[in-house]
Amino acid sequence: MKALRIAGLALALAVPAAPCVAAESVNLILNWTPTADHSPFYYAKSQGWYEKAGIDLTIEVGKGSGVSSLKVGSGGSPFGIADLATALVAKSKGADVVALMSIYANTGQTFYWLKSYGVNGPKDFPNHKIGNPPGDASRVMWPAFAKAAGIAPDAVSFVNVGPTAKIAALKSHTVDIISDFYNEHDLKVIEFGADLGYVNWKDIGLNPYGNSLIVNGAYLQKNPKLVEEFVKISQKAYAACVADVAPCLKALLDQASGLDKENQQRQWERIKFLMTDEFTTTKALGWIDPERMKKDYELVQTYLGMEKPFDVNTAFSTKMLDTSIKMDASKVKK
């Protein structure tokens, strides 16, 4: 009897176990270098959420929304982060991209100035110098801002200033006004204090969607279940970071070097504001509203141009979002 039990055990050990399903290698290209607004992806990865869903995620450092839109649109990366207006332009040029989730429900575009330079608002912009990089979205979209602010588009002059030199250029009076994203707001407050003036584009009625999660259209058609899992995990991660950003920033800082923890904490507070609107708080965190998308399309068509017009409804989908996960407005500082 004992011999039979041993033989049975040996036979069981000899039978190969059912093979494990290999995780799908998935790449996410960021819009730029990693900062607080990307921390939910690093957090979800560190928690094994993507892995559990059969997703072996690689997060690739980006070089701008134009690059990420084109790489996703060409199939070089299934997922990416891109400014939605930039993604729409890329789509008009043949990029196969679909937006799945807004990260910045509100535009981050902001102009900053010093009141001591004689500027107290957009009406005072004429005859002043604005500093930003060539090709900067705020420079390209300047005619739209000027129209909304009621000033002539040619009433200002632009000076080429690199992204990291903006504060120094404003401080030295090389320029009178700079453009920057609102998530970097606190660096200006710390530097200039009560002398700082600013206007977010939303304040004058221009509020296109900002950074969003995009996917390659063909990849979406071929892998709908995986894409849905990716979106819902990412959505869940953003909600978790809104509730408590500490572990999310730890995951980010563990993987991305050269970041200042306190600055990233300040950024996240501003990012929560950018994530919050009437749709993300009532429909779903990351919701993309069709009517706003139509307005964004018209804005882009007018000021950036569409090489080949398309139906804007093909440029986004909210079907993958978990409607039980909503943006918690109580976590946003007023």
Say whether both 164 and 230 belong to one domain. no
Say whether both 126 and 214 belong to one domain. no
Domain count, the chain: 2
Within a domain: 289? yes
Which pLDDT band holds residue 207 (cuts at 50, 70, 90)?
A: very high
DSSP string covering 181-237:
EGGGHHHHHHHHGGGEEEEEGGGGT-----EEEEEEHHHHHH-HHHHHHHHHHHHHH
Say whether both 95 and 230 belong to one domain. yes
Which one has a higher pLDDT value, 6 or 233? Answer: 233
Phi, psi angle pair for 211, to nearest 5°: -60, 135
Q: Dig out the tokens for 178 from the structure.
A: 């700079």
The parent domain of residue 160 ranges over 109-204
Say whether both 311 and 240 belong to one domain. yes
Task: Report the pLDDT value the prediction gives residue 13, as an integer from 0 to 100.
Answer: 42
Within a domain: 10? no
The CATH number of the domain where 70 resides is what?
3.40.190.10
Structural domain ending residue among the three candidates 137, 172, 204: 204
Task: Report the pLDDT value the prediction gives residue 21, as an integer from 0 to 100.
Answer: 52
Structural domain ending residue among the three candidates 179, 204, 229: 204
Within a domain: 72? yes
Within a domain: 8? no
- Mean pLDDT (whole number) for 39-68: 96
Say whether both 231 and 113 belong to one domain. no
pTM assigned to the model? 0.86
Whether 51 and 23 have beta carbons less than 8 Å apart is answered as yes
Within a domain: 19? no
Within a domain: 258? yes
